[in-house]
Structure 1
C-alpha cells in the first residue's frame, strides 16, 4: 500500500511464497524484488538464490528483523542486493528500492553491523579462508582499486562512471573482474568483506 502511493514505483505483482514468485517471474521480471524471509513453501533465502540463479539482473532486497542474523548471512551468500528492516518507514523503503535499482547497496547501519559480525564469526563462510590473507594491491590493478573505493562509498555504477570518466559498461566489467579475483559473488559481499578487514 505504501509503495503504490509513490508515483515513481509501479508494483507489477505480489506472491505469497517463493514458489509463487518464481511462477510470476516466468512472465514478467521486475527491476527490484522485496523479499520477506519468513514465507511458506520456499522461504525467502531459497527464493533469493533461485531468483539470482535464473534472473541475475533482478535486484533482491530482503526484509529482515534484528533477530534473524543467520537469515541475513545466508541471504548475503545467496546474492541479496540489500537488506532493510521490516519496521522501516516508507521513505527508507523507497530509498532502498531506488538504490538497488541504480546498483547501489543500501544497508541499515545495524544490519551492516550484524553482517560484519556474522562474517567474522561463522567459519564455514566459503570466501573467507581464501581471500582473508590476500593483499588487494597484489590482486587488483590501480584502476580496479579506484573502482573498489567508489563502491565502498556506496556509489552506483552510473556515478562511478562519471567520477572516473569511464562508460557505465566499463565500470560493470571492472566490478565483475574484481568479484572474480576476490572470489566473491556480489557487491554486498565485497562491501562486507572489506569493512570486516
Structure 2
C-alpha cells in the first residue's frame, strides 16, 4: 500500500482528496500538511511514498517544497495539483523534479491514475498544460543545441566522452595526440559553459549526442 501525504492549505480540499484517493485499495493517506514547511517536517519523522501538493500555500509554496524534498528524499514521488493552468508553474515544477502536474479540474479517476503513473516511474501532465508546456520544452532544447556551435571534431569528442572513453581512448579512436584531445575538451567546456568532464558526459547523454 502506498503511503500518501496531502499538502494543501484548504482543509475541505484535503478532505475531498482523501476520500477520492482512498477509494483505491492501494492508496492510504497517512499524513496531511497545510504548507511545504510542514510537509518537510513530517518527512523528517515519517516515511512517505507519494506527495500530492498544491502550488500556492503560505509559509512555503509547493515549488520550494518540491526542490527541498527532491534533494533530501529523491525517491519520494511528487504530484503538483493546482487550480492554475499556468505553463510557467508547470515548467518550474518539472525543473525541480516533480513527477507530475495536474489541474484540480481533473476527475477522480484521473487523480488515481496519476498516482499509479507517478509511482511506476511515469510523468503525468494534464492535457491542457502539456499542450502549452511540451512545445516550449522542445523549443528550449533545440535552442540549446543550436547555440553551442561545436565543430564536427568537438562533437565527435563530446560523444566519446559521453560513452565514458578516456583521453587516450579518444586519441586512439580519432588519431589525435592526448594533448590535442585535452585542448579540445578545454575548448568544449568553455563553449558549453560546463565545469568539468563529468558535466560534459551528462550533457552528451542528455542531448543524445
TM-superposed CA distance for 1:57, in Å, is 0.6
1:91 corresponds in structure 2 to: 109
TM-superposed CA distance for 1:84, in Å, is 1.2
Unaligned runs of at least 5 residues, structure 1? 142-178, 185-189
CA contact (8 A) 1:29 1:58 kept: no
Q: How many residues align?
A: 146
Flag the structure with higher strand content. Answer: 2
Q: What TM-score, normalized to structure 1?
A: 0.62
Q: Which has the higher contact order (CA 8 A, sep 6+)?
A: 1
Work out which of the residue numbers 24, 28, 51 in structure 1 matches 2:69.
51
The root-mean-square deviation of aligned C-alpha atoms, in Å, is 3.3
Larger radius of gyration: 2
2:20 corresponds in structure 1 to: 2
Deviation digits for residues 68-122 of structure 1, max 9, x if unmatched? 222111111111111111111111110110111111112222221221244367x
Q: 1:81 to 1:182 in 2, by over 3 A?
A: farther
Deviation digits for residues 106-143 of structure 1, max 9, x if unmatched? 2222221221244367xxx7x77544578xxx8577xx
Q: 1:183 to 1:128 in 2, by over 3 A?
A: farther
Work out which of the residue numbers 120, 126, 139 in structure 2 matches 1:102.
120
Moved over 6 A (4+): none
1:180 corresponds in structure 2 to: 202
Equivalent residue of 2:31, what SS? coil
Deviation digits for residues 20-77 of structure 1, max 9, x if unmatched? 0000001123211111101111000001101101100111111134532221111111
- 53-62 vs 105-114, greater mean Cα deviation: 105-114
1:163 corresponds in structure 2 to: none
1:112 corresponds in structure 2 to: 130
Unaligned runs of at least 5 residues, structure 2? 1-18, 149-157, 164-200
Q: In structure 2, how many angstroms separate the alpha carbons of the residues matched to 1:183 and 1:79? A: 18
CA contact (8 A) 1:82 1:100 kept: yes
CA contact (8 A) 1:69 1:118 kept: no
